[in-house]
């Protein structure tokens, strides 16, 4: 029996700041999960404000360590490919501490979904710049204003080989649900970036409310990069949300496992033959 919206709430006390964009991601996820095969669903989280989400939803979870969500999720999927694995990571987490894992998960096209809560700041450690904070960002570690340019995660993911690339905004509930649901349905590596204002350390509601617009339709191949770079995480440009790119490619889990389910492997291996070959 599936848990409904209410039963999906765990008894954990919610400790996000009022007004935090994470609430919307939590609600959208619960809505999407209500119709999924819940016993086979595993949530994975990194470390940061975003990650508390898995404590709040009463389903299987692996609350991992900072930056390592894609690696953990890959291992879970390879251990048992029948599981549906969805990772939740922060921008500091996935783009900073553990970028390599994210790139490789995309490269391999492992059949998992990664939701990145991009608030442009390290929330849990009280406000430092992240890889997607704009140039000049005055955080506690860069009070003079960051001298680094942000990178664009969408084009990074495209370059790395992600087969599903999307962006949403926590204040556009319908779009957010749609994107998470589509990402989970996609067979292969699905990337979902959610613009998620941090009410306390980097309140971006006003800017996003003004600039965010819905793509509505997936752009044709030749316009994908143009759409992805319309906004480069700085002050210029409007901000499209929706699904930017979709492609089908054999998944890593299928190619590597070829029907094998390691979690259920029960095998008596006879090594005598191998030893004879070495005699």
Partner 1 sequence: MEDISILVGGKAGDGIRIAAIIVARLFSRYGYRVFVYDDYPSLIRGGHNFSLIRVSRQKVQANNVGVDLIVALDKQTIEKHASELNDGGVILFDSSKGEVETEGVGVPFKEIVKEMEGMSIMRNSAALGAIAKVAEIDWKIVEEVFYKFLPKKTDLNLKIARKAYDMASAGNLKVENLNQEMMPIISGNEAIGLGAVKAGMAVYYAYPMTPSTGILHFLAANRDRFNILVVHPENEIAVILMALGSAYSGAKTMVGTAGGGFALMVEGLSLSAQSEIPITIVVGQRAAPSTGVPTYSLQSDLHFVLNAGHGEFPRFLVAPGDAEEAYYYTGVAMNVAWSCQVPSIVLSDKNLSEGNYSFDSSMYTVEEAQPILWDGKGDYLRYKDSENGVSPLAFPGNKSATVKVTSYEHDQYGITTEESEKVAFMQQKRLQKTEAVKKEIEDIEAVKAYGKDSDTVIFTWGSTKGACVEAADALGLKVLQPIIMEPFPDLSSYIKDAGRIVTVETNATGQLARLLENNGIRVDHKVLKYNARPFFTDELIERLRKEVL
Ligand X SMILES: Cc1ncc(C[n+]2csc(CCOP(=O)(O)OP(=O)(O)O)c2C)c(N)n1
Residue ranges in contact with ligand X by CB under 6 A? 47-50, 66, 90-93, 117, 119, 121-125, 130
Determine the 3-state secondary structure of 39 from DSSP.
helix
The 86-125 contact track toward partner 1, x by CB under 8 A, reads: ------------x-xx--x---------------------
| Spatial contact of 175 and 242, defined as CB atoms under 8 Å apart | yes
User: Contact with Mg ion (CB under 5 A): which of 46, 90, 139, 197?
Assistant: 90
Q: Which stretch binds Mg ion (CB under 5 A): 75-83, 92-100, 232-240, 250-258?
A: 92-100
H or E element that contains 91: helix 91-91
Structure-token pair, residue 194: 């959610």
| Residue with smaller CB distance to ligand SF4, 119 or 128 | 119
- Which residues in 195-212 are b (16+ Cβ under 10 Å) and which e? bbbbbbbbebeeebeebb
> Among residues 120 and 242, whose Cβ is nearest to ligand SF4?
120
**Binding footprint of ligand SF4 on the chain (CB under 6 A):** 16-17, 20, 22, 49, 119, 123, 198-201
* Total length of the chain: 279
Determine if 52 is a binding residue for partner 1 (CB under 8 A).
yes
Least distance in Å: CB of 54 to Mg ion? 16
Q: Is the dihedral of CA 238, 205, 125, 72 positive or negative?
A: negative
Residue 90 interacting partner from Mg ion, ligand SF4, partner 1, none (CB closer than 5 to 8 Å by kind)? Mg ion
Is 165 within 8 Å of 245 (Cβ atoms)?
A: yes
CA–CA gap between residue 167 and residue 183 (Å, rounded): 11
* Residue from 27, 31, 63, 218 in contact with partner 1 (CB under 8 A): 63
88: left (phi over 0), alpha (psi -120 to 50) or beta: beta
DSSP state string for 212-276:
EEE--SPPPGGGHHHHHTS--SSSSS-EEEEEEEE-----HHHHHHTT--GGG-------HHHHH
Quick one: what does residue 47 bind among ligand X, ligand SF4, Mg ion, none, with the CB cut-off 5 to 8 Å set by partner type?
A: ligand X
Give the whole-angstrom CA distance, residue 269 versus residue 276.
Answer: 14
Q: Is 5 in the site for partner 1 (CB under 8 A)?
A: no
Give least dist CB 209 to ligand SF4, A: 16
Site mask, partner 1, residues 221-260, x = CB under 8 A?
A: -----------------------------------xx--x
Closest distance of CB 128 from ligand SF4, Å:
12
Name which of 44 and 195 has its Cβ closer to partner 1. 44
Tell me the closest approach of the beta carbon of residue 195 to partner 1, in angstroms. Answer: 26
Q: Quick check: 50 binds partner 1 (CB under 8 A)?
A: no
Contacting positions for Mg ion (CB under 5 A): 90-92, 119
């Amino acid at each position: 029996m599936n848990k409904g919206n209410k039963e999906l709430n765990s008894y954990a006390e919610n400790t996000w700041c009022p007004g935090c964009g994470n609430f919307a991601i939590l609600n959208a996820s619960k809505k999407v999960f209500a119709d999924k095969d819940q016993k086979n669903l595993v949530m994975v989280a990194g470390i940061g404000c975003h990650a508390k989400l898995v404590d709040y939803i009463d389903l299987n979870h692996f609350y991992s360590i900072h930056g390592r969500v894609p690696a953990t999720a890959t291992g879970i999927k390879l251990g048992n490919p029948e599981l549906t694995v969805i990772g939740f990571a922060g921008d500091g987490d996935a783009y900073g501490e553990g970028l390599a894992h994210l790139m490789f998960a995309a490269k391999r096209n492992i059949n998992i979904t990664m939701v990145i809560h991009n608030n442009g700041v390290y929330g849990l450690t009280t406000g430092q710049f992240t890889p997607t904070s704009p140039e000049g960002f005055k955080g506690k570690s860069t009070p003079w204003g960051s001298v680094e340019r942000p990178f664009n995660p969408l084009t990074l993911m495209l370059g790395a080989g992600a087969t599903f690339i999307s962006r949403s905004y926590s204040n556009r509930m319908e779009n957010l649900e749609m994107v998470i649901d589509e990402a989970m349905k996609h067979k292969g590596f699905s990337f979902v970036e959610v613009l998620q204002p941090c009410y306390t350390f980097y309140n971006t509601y006003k800017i996003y409310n003004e600039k965010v617009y819905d793509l509505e339709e997936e752009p044709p191949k030749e316009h994908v990069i143009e759409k992805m770079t319309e906004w480069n995480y700085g002050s210029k440009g409007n901000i499209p949300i929706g699904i930017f790119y979709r492609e089908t490619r054999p998944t890593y889990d299928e190619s590597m496992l070829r029907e094998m389910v390691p979690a259920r492997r029960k095998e008596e291996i006879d090594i005598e033959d191998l030893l004879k070959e070495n005699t």
